[in-house]
Structure 1
């Protein structure tokens, strides 16, 4: 038996691992020789210095051993799971899918999410109809092929519309969902002389074979794409990108390679049906087979009978613009009259019991519905990351435990025999023995202090290793706490060591004790932890091909204190990373206007959130931005200057400044009051006058009020600045408005007045110019950032970089009064859109709802045009 055939563990050579004990010791000795070779020449094994070096190298191998654990172990929670959201590491089932863009993408998505569909054909609306609205780019119509009852078809249409609206793209909308008219065809397996044309054999029941024939032919004529499970494709060796790429499919992978359903007049060859029948278990031979189809499906002008049907053995049209072939099923009311399926066994005709055929067919359909048809839903494991083993890496045993006991730094301390070597015959022998022991204990304490430096360094390294999961997580709890050390490992105590020395205890947390709040050491430690966290987050962003530099953002946060700036920037990067997958992939997506979106953070256009986060806004979805400003103006307008409102001295001082003077709390003041540098005092004979500089162009500062003392004036300034900062923070945000959604859905009277023309051709052109591929970003024009021209230029640069290239995306800056009026109509318009989606699909929305929608949409269109969103 050769050595290669024997099961064995390969020996690892020390020289192959640069971090092995041997290599570390060799490197340590070489370093000592280079640094102190002239004064220390004894490098034998018995040398205490070399012994200490060996202990330190052994301790380093423990750090290396822990660092070499698999990556999932370092990131695993207590139960061994890796949280994809917490770690910003999405699994393949979430990372690879993309938005539906092409016709095939939409077809796959609709067939996946609406199992009742046989086919779906999305077409640009302009190709299906004519008129002003039809010519708007971005409008689509979907033709569905659906079987079943009218109620089932209506439910499928409503479900398809909901799916489209939930996945629609920016600047696009669904105009209509139509149903393709079924053109019923029948099977005819009789020979020209009337004899059965299908020979069967074996032990299978003839009814079961007949049902298989109908199922195979119905499935082929329905032209449904082939569906395969994700697991099956992965087992075949397909890459995860191939399996999970494309639109997000949850019920299996659909293949559209066999047929192109978008081509009107696609040809069906009857011979292909013959081949499918021949492959059925129990079918011996197919001698005769034909299709009876209506005249619209004839491709070669064959003659039709009195019922408008023709028997074809060659080829037929699969579908037209508004119709599609559909095989008559055994449960159809007139199935018996059109039944022409003839079978024979051993040359003799087989009589088929049609009632039994219907019952078994119905049972088969119910079984398929109970199993979900051919659906293969994604398993939960596809949305999980590999599991790891949670390990406690936060404990470090002191290097002193690895040294010989004679050193006196171990658990037993200095050996009891130390001192007995003194001359006990001398008069002072006992005193000398005690002095000798004291000297040994003092030297041992010094050695422990020296080893504490190494223990602290090793414990800090293990502490950082133990906190890897927190470092790379998207949680920021406790990160900026002043008393949180950088490491988290503990140095195990040396039990039994003599404590009556000046040596510090060895049970301290790694990373150092808590620094005094506000001390230079605390600020340095805080800055170091912030830098580590930002580097880790930048690494996670780089894994997804993203970056989020914040130098420009910090430039626009000058109105905040440095500590507050750090908090805002870290929270912003965390929010950006949490949303980076959806916002980067779906930045061309629109919101679902069939669901509530006002004051909601779960229904928005991803481009709006991406831009908001890049601007440093604290994103919270679509919400009112001017409401709180208007509220505080009204509040102070009703308040007398000498009022004593609830809220303490701050509210009393604000009432003195703003009471009865609502006009003073204008947009200019709200922006300037955020900067402490804009406040100043002017001494007068009757006291101190508080001034506020509104801009840097040399305009005379605004006089806010007079106070008896400078201290009181500065307290009033701080109260006003606090209010301005609060209102600025609450007002920061944006509304993304797609002009196509503002088109008229009923009469065009409101839009004709809004666009300023009543001429037919001129109105059509103006409407197309306003609606087609246009998006407005509505933002407040006040505040320390939104009122800054450089900040507005920064937004323009971000729009050019991140907005889809085929859309014209323009910022619209509105003052608080105009923005308040816009948001009033915008909220009503959003409610109208939700009501339209909830309308009965059969009867459609009522005229009052359409008129209300068009009135609010026209108001928004007029305001956007007047504010600068040019047609």
Structure 2
């Protein structure tokens, strides 16, 4: 029975914003406020008429507020600028970086087509080297061994030399792919190719005659070979989505370009036993097979093979070169079609020869069919899949949301406020009354027009743009509100400025934008919990709220990388950039720099270079006299003015002053001038006669207040103080940053455990190499800048590192002065260069020597920090 056709009744708005609900609510409010004086609420009452028109206007505002979200963000042709609004498609924001061994398997299988399967296990290098040294050592956690099985098709018809070249090329590709996605605290120990052991199918398969026996044979062989060679398969993204997989399931783990990589049998390792029951089930599912009488695996001579041979080799199914009675045989229920022994025992040799020719012809046809099936399988695996069809980018409808149409157009003509106005013949009192009513309604209409302007500004409000205001307004002209311009006290443009000023009184753009950005961050499960950072706004002239807002915007612009690469380490095989062109730094380092408002330095950058670029070197205040202090300040001012204007010669040195730019090793920069020179309240301007003296408060009891210079005009003195202070701020900012040193990468590489000088490798003073290398990372900060000299900021920096570092890594913090940092950065640069140039398997004496140099430095300064009661912060979970 067909359902009756009908139109659903209009349901009231659940929020009470429809016309009837608004009118009813307004009448109830009027009765509560003016029930004693206003008793007539019938339709003819002018007050009720005004209430109805206002209710209609508010209902229109509610209607414009209920469009789909994409309509509010739509631009021309309905397109949405997703990058501007920090909106990212599922295939960008949902995939994670490699985290587990299974993730490495999927990534390598997808990236390198020559690989059939890959197994990731813990590297037992430490134990093997310990046995060689007679120590019986233990493995170092974090080292992994990758074992590869190459595709059969890429190895066929290759000579021994070609086979070796293929293996070396694949190993190099695997190493490059691993290091591009390596996690903090992990490293690649070895990459090896697993040898294969050829096997053949043996058994009797009963088939029917509705399908060609050659196609059946090829299908059986391909399915069994696929089961033996790998447990990984490529599945189309569209197929996974149509099968009911959610977006989180489709894009779980690292992003794979050729489709979704799935593990069909959960094979634990290369030596996992092959299930004959699964092979029989696969064969039974082949179109044309009616019954599997017997199935097994054998060698070329027909002898059974072991299906569990440990990790030494993996099975490789070979296609028979010629028909043999002890291999796979296909036959009908009544007569032999393949290698049936009964058919081979014909009464004459001519019949046996004829049967052999038929068998060889069937094998040849099956071989050709197998090539076609393999080609289709390889094409599927090596073709990049489109992900846009799974989640098409939504588009909206571009709407003129701020187009305001006055409710006064709807009033009866007798009111004289619509577009017809009051007749010219009407008395003056009538015209004045109409204008008073128009002006009275204008206040409510201006609020409604401003609301629509706010709706139109939603794309800018929920964007990464720099905004100076978050509330909007618009001027109502005669077209929107008839006759209103005659009531304005100024031109419409000036009225617009007045409205903007009125709205700005209630607008706090920095605080409101901060709350809106918190919403966008929460959309991705992130938060910017750096409220304590506001107390350390030493270098910025901007308001603290604006400074934090800029940091949040920087966080949102990098939200994909910060959330995806939070555990990714630096690619040690590359210098400054990754393969995709991004900066080659650890993901957590980028996040820490944004959270602490630090510049993003590349892996080869030296924080000490900022001062050396100006031929400056830090010096303690005890080594600087008052006259030299003033001379150095004038030298800094000269450097600042030279950057922002035409070149000027150095000022003439005062009595007893050296020529600062010509000093060997650079001009000595007092520590207090660098740390205290960022604060304007340390500069004191005093007038003495016709001159303005500029003094600097050093916060040092010996030096006290130092006079820097004298000027003829206050404006010149103020300008130079600002230039000097800004230059000192830039020196501080350029000197700030963080170095992350993974202890695992500092391990010894030579198997004999000795350096080039014949000394034992690794730290032997703190419980052995395992305690130093396992899950530890050194976090190195400069200690000489204004912010980093503040003990409270140091605590904030350490807490920020601990909260964002992967939970299994233990951070050790070092706060180095300028000299120590210079020493560390030179050692680190040499070590990174040698690590990048090192080829596994070759002599590593130079790398081990550079590693030992960094290790000795870290141990020495760690011991010094502990002895000075400046131990690293406790482990944070």
TM class by smaller structure: 0.7 to 0.9
Deviation at 1:800, TM superposition (A): 2.8
Q: Using the alignment, how far apart are the partners of 1:288 and 1:654 within structure 2?
A: 96
Tell me which of 197, 222, 243 is aligned to 1:215: 222
Deviation at 1:747, TM superposition (A): 8.2
Deviation at 1:702, TM superposition (A): 6.0
Q: Using the alignment, how far apart are the partners of 1:448 and 1:168 within structure 2?
A: 70
Tell me which of 460, 470, 478 is aligned to 2:450: 460
Q: Using the alignment, how far apart are the partners of 2:548 and 2:322 within structure 1?
A: 70
| Equivalent residue runs for 1:716-865 within 5 Å | 716-746=720-750, 758=760, 762=764, 766-836=768-838, 847=843, 850-865=844-859
Deviation at 1:410, TM superposition (A): 2.4
| Equivalent residue runs for 1:235-384 within 5 Å | 235-256=242-263, 258-262=265-269, 265-293=271-299, 311-312=303-304, 316-329=306-319, 340-345=327-332, 346-350=334-338, 351-353=359-361, 354-372=363-381, 377-382=385-390, 384=392
Q: Is residue 183 of structure 1 aligned with residue 197 of structure 2? A: yes
Q: Deviations over 1:339-379 (max 9, x none)?
A: 93433355134413355544443444344334436x77352
Q: Which residue of 1 aligns with 2:625?
A: none
Q: Is residue 71 of structure 1 aligned with residue 65 of structure 2? A: no
Tell me which of 416, 430, 444 is aligned to 1:440: 430
Q: Which residue of 1 aligns with 2:674?
A: 670
Which has the larger displacement, 727-736 or 77-86? 77-86
Deviation at 1:766, TM superposition (A): 4.5
Q: Deviations over 1:534-580 (max 9, x none)?
A: 111112222333322343111111553343x3432111011223334
Q: Which residue of 2 aligns with 1:570?
A: 549
Q: 1:319 to 1:231 in 2, by over 3 A?
A: farther
Q: 1:335 to 1:145 in 2, by over 3 A?
A: farther
Q: Which residue of 2 aligns with 1:588?
A: 567
Tell me which of 455, 462, 483 is aligned to 1:472: 462
Q: Using the alignment, how far apart are the partners of 1:335 and 1:683 within structure 2?
A: 108
Report SS of the residue matched to 1:123: strand
Q: Which residue of 2 aligns with 1:633?
A: 615
Which has the larger displacement, 766-775 or 734-743? 766-775
Q: 1:76 to 1:817 in 2, by over 3 A?
A: farther
Tell me which of 174, 177, 185 is aligned to 1:163: 177
Deviation at 1:382, TM superposition (A): 4.2
Which has the larger displacement, 800-809 or 132-141? 132-141
| Equivalent residue runs for 1:542-621 within 5 Å | 542-563=522-543, 565-597=544-576, 601-619=582-600
Q: Using the alignment, how far apart are the partners of 1:543 and 1:323 within structure 2?
A: 49
Paired residues of 2:208 and 2:289 also in contact (CA < 8 A):
yes
Q: 1:83 to 1:343 in 2, by over 3 A?
A: same
Q: 1:611 to 1:647 in 2, by over 3 A?
A: closer
The TM-score, its normalising length taken from structure 1, stands at: 0.81
Tell me which of 704, 714, 721 is aligned to 1:701: 704
Q: Is residue 397 of structure 1 aligned with residue 386 of structure 2? A: no
Q: Is residue 503 of structure 1 aligned with residue 491 of structure 2? A: no
Q: Which residue of 1 aligns with 2:45?
A: 47
Q: 1:497 to 1:216 in 2, by over 3 A?
A: closer
Unaligned 5+ segments in structure 1 are 190-196, 294-306, 419-435
Q: Which residue of 2 aligns with 1:34?
A: 32
The TM-score, its normalising length taken from structure 2, stands at: 0.81
Q: 1:560 to 1:642 in 2, by over 3 A?
A: closer
Deviation at 1:184, TM superposition (A): 1.2
Report SS of the residue matched to 2:424: coil
Count of equivalent residues: 801
Paired residues of 2:405 and 2:480 also in contact (CA < 8 A):
no
Q: Deviations over 1:447-498 (max 9, x none)?
A: 333222112211221122222222222x223x02xxx572165635337955
Report SS of the residue matched to 1:406: helix
Deviation at 1:531, TM superposition (A): 2.5
Which has the larger displacement, 244-253 or 776-785? 244-253
Q: Using the alignment, how far apart are the partners of 2:55 and 2:583 within structure 1?
A: 54
Q: 1:722 to 1:641 in 2, by over 3 A?
A: closer
Unaligned 5+ segments in structure 2 are 131-136, 156-162, 339-358, 618-630, 867-877
Which has the larger displacement, 791-800 or 346-355? 346-355
Q: Using the alignment, how far apart are the partners of 2:490 and 2:554 within structure 1?
A: 42
RMSD: 4.0
Q: Which residue of 2 aligns with 1:487?
A: 472
Q: Using the alignment, how far apart are the partners of 1:221 and 1:469 within structure 2?
A: 55
Tell me which of 91, 115, 118 is aligned to 2:116: 118
Tell me which of 200, 204, 207 is aligned to 1:200: 207
Q: Deviations over 1:574-618 (max 9, x none)?
A: 122333454345422212223333697533212112222221335
Report SS of the residue matched to 1:395: coil
Report SS of the residue matched to 2:615: helix
Which has the larger displacement, 61-70 or 616-625? 616-625
Q: Using the alignment, how far apart are the partners of 2:268 and 2:37 within structure 1?
A: 88
Q: Using the alignment, how far apart are the partners of 1:587 and 1:818 within structure 2?
A: 29
Report SS of the residue matched to 2:726: helix
Q: Which residue of 2 aligns with 1:388?
A: 396
Tell me which of 114, 130, 136 is aligned to 2:128: 130
